[in-house]
Amino acid sequence: MLVVMKAHATEEQVRAVCERIESLGYRPHAIPGAQRTAIGITGNKGAMEAGALEEMSGVQEVIIVSKPYKLVSRDVKEEDTVINLPGTDAAVGGRELGIVAGPCAIECREQAFAIAERVAKTGARFFRGGAYKPRTSPYAFQGMGEAGLKIMAEIRDRFGLRIVTEAIDNESLDLVAEYADVVQIGARNMQNFSLLKKAGKIRKPVLLKRGMSATLEEFLMAAEYILSEGNYEVILCERGVRTFADHTRNTLDLSIVPAVQKLSHLPILVDPSHGTGKRDKVLPLSRAAIAVGADGLIVEVHHDPDRALSDGMQSLFPDQFDELMAEIRQIAPVVHRTLQEPLRQPVVAKAGK
Ligand code: PEP
Ligand code: MN
Q: Which one-letter DSSP state was computed for residue 316?
A: B
Q: State in Å: Cα 323 to ligand 1 middle.
A: 23
pLDDT at 234: 98
Topology of the domain covering 83-335: TIM Barrel (3.20.20)
Q: Considering every ligand atom, which ligand is closest to the CA of 185?
A: 1
The more confident residue out of 342 and 147 is: 147
Domains in the chain: boundaries = 2-63, 83-335
CA angle (165 as vertex; 112, 156 as ends), nearest 5: 55
Ligand 1, CB within 6 Å, residue ranges: 104, 130, 134, 186-188, 209, 239, 274
Atom number of ligand 1 nearest to Cα 240: 9
Find the mean pLDDT for residues 127-139: 95
pLDDT above 90 as % of the chain: 90
Q: Which one-letter DSSP state was computed for residue 317?
A: P
Q: State in Å: Cα 158 to ligand 2 middle.
A: 24
Using DSSP's 3-state secondary structure scheme, residue 185 falls into: strand
Q: Considering every ligand atom, which ligand is closest to the CA of 134?
A: 1
pLDDT at 346: 55
Q: Examine the pLDDT at 71 and tell me if it is beyond 70.
A: yes
Nearest CA to ligand 1 atom 4: 186
Nearest CA to ligand 1 atom 1: 104
Handedness of CA 256, 259, 261, 265 (dihedral sign): negative
pLDDT at 43: 85
Q: State in Å: Cα 311 to ligand 1 middle.
A: 10
CA dihedral 321, 323, 328, 330 (to 10 degrees): 160
Per DSSP, the residues of 208-270 read EEPPTT--HHHHHHHHHHHHHTT---EEEEE--B--S--SSSSB--TTHHHHHHHHB-S-EEE
Q: State in Å: Cα 32 to ligand 2 middle.
A: 36
Q: State in Å: Cα 276 to ligand 2 middle.
A: 11
Q: Examine the pLDDT at 6 and tell me if it is beyond 60.
A: yes
- CA nearest to 67, candidates 45, 93, 40: 40
The more confident residue out of 23 and 343 is: 23
Please, are residues 202 and 173 in contact by the beta-carbon 8 Å criterion?
A: yes
Q: State in Å: Cα 105 to ligand 2 middle.
A: 7
pLDDT digits (tens, 9 = 90+) for 265-318: 999 999 999 999 999 999 999 999 999 999 999 999 999 999 999 999 999 999
What type of residue sits at position 312? Answer: G
Q: Examine the pLDDT at 347 and tell me if it is beyond 60.
A: no
Atom number of ligand 1 nearest to Cα 189: 8
Q: State in Å: Cα 119 to ligand 1 middle.
A: 19
β 37-42/27-32 pair status: antiparallel
Nearest CA to ligand 1 atom 9: 187
CA distance 275 to 348: 34
Nearest CA to ligand 1 atom 3: 104
The more confident residue out of 228 and 353 is: 228
Please, are residues 244 and 276 in contact by the beta-carbon 8 Å criterion?
A: no
pLDDT at 67: 86
Please, are residues 160 and 294 in contact by the beta-carbon 8 Å criterion?
A: no
Q: Examine the pLDDT at 348 and tell me if it is beyond 60.
A: no
Nearest CA to ligand 1 atom 6: 186
Considering the entire predicted model, what is its pTM?
0.94
- Give whole-number Cα distances, 58 to 11, 64, 74, 324, in Å: 10, 18, 21, 50
Could you tell me the CATH superfamily of domain 2-63?
Phospho-2-dehydro-3-deoxyheptonate aldolase; domain 1 (3.30.70.1140)
- Give whole-number Cα distances, 106 to 103, 161, 298, in Å: 7, 15, 15
Surface-to-core class of residue 55, CB atoms within 10 Å of its CB (0-12 exposed, 13-18 middle, 19+ buried): exposed
pLDDT digits (tens, 9 = 90+) for 140-177: 999 999 999 999 999 999 999 999 999 999 999 999 99
Q: Examine the pLDDT at 352 and tell me if it is beyond 60.
A: no
Find the mean pLDDT for residues 196-216: 98
Q: Examine the pLDDT at 213 and tell me if it is beyond 70.
A: yes
pLDDT at 345: 58
Mutate to test the pocket of ligand 1, among 185, 208, 239 (most ligand atoms within 8 A of CB): 239
User: Mean pLDDT, the chain, as a whole number?
Assistant: 95
Instruction: Considering only the C-alpha atoms of the chain, give the largest distance between any 2 of them, rounded to a whole number of Å.
Output: 66
pLDDT at 147: 98
Q: Examine the pLDDT at 353 and tell me if it is beyond 50.
A: no
Confidence of residue 343 (pLDDT cuts 50, 70, 90): confident
Find the mean pLDDT for residues 40-53: 82
